[in-house]
Amino acid sequence: MLHPLGRRLPGRAGFDPTCDNPGVSEPTPEPGHAPVMIDEVLEALEIRPGQTVLDGTAGRGGHASAMARLATADGHLILCDLDPENLAYAASRAQEAGSCQVETLHGSFARAPRDLIASETPADAVLVDLGVASTQIDTPDRGFSFLADGPLDMRMDPTGPVTAGDLVMSSSADELARIIHDFGEEPLARRIAGKIVARRRESPIQTTAELADLVREAYGARAASSRNHPATRTFQALRIAVNDELGALDGLLRQLVDAGTLIANGRPTWLNPGAKVAFLTFHSLEDRRVKRAFAELKRAGLAELPSRTPAVPTETEIATNPRSRSAKLRVATVGDLRVPS
């Protein structure tokens, strides 16, 4: 029978563990794609054979491949992602890597809890990697980056209704300033918004290069001393708004707190008692939310935190994968803390 989560993909045995660290790293990593803090993630989740694992942001399958091997033949791996192409690719990699049952859920990770409840498949381990997939950043046609010119898109799900171009061309100056300030923490948000509105009166703003140039103009002389590209925060803000990233994160964290309460009351939910939950965040807006939710669970006696401070990448990892430099890993054990790890 088809699982309510979506397409069922049978696992595949016969994986050749010709890698430096069998059971953790992957034998043939995808060029240009490096899963962030993979050893720390796997150590934190403590995945055991037969467990059900939810990867809420499958991306290109870097973490999923390693988790598939640990779950083994009688385990479950449920992959979720907004990007259908990445989701299919990640599922294929997970199939190749291990023999566990692999299932896919196309959509936001915020809807995964209700699907797990509906299918009566509570998770023992959950990973939510809030980074942007390398293919999205490196493909100009996706419009995520100002490093190569492309359309102002930024949709993680290419079928989504609103693009970054739509927001740039239709939002009021006040609304643009709010988005850029609140989601990008950009101190020059109002000046950037004013520059955008003035330029679009003359001609449409359609490409990443056009927008990046406008932001640089708004920075003026400050652009020369800016630590990062002046457009970095504006692009982050638009991407977050287009994909409702913080809304989805808030929704999942609310369901996480609710799950802790239900487990404490002996009621079934989308997590098994003692489930390990890990979040990889890449900027303060995300990390503050996760930290606050974990603290709420801890205060209520509904979770245990191995550390009050997040784990961060090693200097070696940052040197080999610069995109990992801002990553923070927070982990919680949720529910019945008497369950042995």
210-253 per-position pLDDT tens digit: 999 999 999 998 888 888 899 999 999 999 999 999 999 999 99
CATH homologous superfamily of 8-13+28-135+245-334 equals Vaccinia Virus protein VP39 (3.40.50.150)
pLDDT value at position 286? 97
β-pairing, 303-304 with 328-334?
antiparallel
- Give the C-alpha distances (Å, rounded to integers) separating 289 from 256, 312, 328: 12, 17, 13
The dihedral built from the CA positions of residue 18, 21, 24 and 30, taken in this order, carries a sign that is: negative
- The pLDDT assigned to 16 comes to 27
Quick: pLDDT tens for 156-179.
999 999 999 999 999 999 999 999
3-state SS, residue 330 = strand
Q: In what order do the strands lie in the sheet with 8-9?
A: 8-9, 101-106, 76-81, 52-55, 123-129, 271-281, 328-334, 303-304
* CATH 1.10.150.170 domain residues, the chain: 147-242
Looking at residue 153, its pLDDT comes to 97
CA 123 – CA 270 distance, rounded (Å):
6
Residue extent(s) of CATH 3.40.50.150 domains in the chain: 8-13+28-135+245-334
- Output the pLDDT for position 134: 84
Which tens digits make up the pLDDT trace of 101-128?
999 999 999 999 999 999 999 999 999 9
pLDDT at 9 over 50: no
Element (H, E) at 176: helix 173-184
31: left (phi over 0), alpha (psi -120 to 50) or beta: beta
Q: Give me the CATH topology for the region 147-242.
A: DNA polymerase; domain 1 (1.10.150)
Three-class DSSP labels, 53-117:
EEECCCCCCHHHHHHHHHHCCCCEEEEEECCHHHHHHHHHHHHHHCCCEEEEEECCHHHHHHHHH
Confirm if 302 and 15 have CB atoms less than 8 A apart: no
The mean per-residue pLDDT over the stretch 67-73 comes to 93
| pLDDT per position as a tens digit, 180-217 | 999 999 999 999 999 999 999 999 999 999 999 999 99
- The string of pLDDT tens digits covering residues 264-297 is 999 999 999 999 999 999 999 999 999 999 999 9
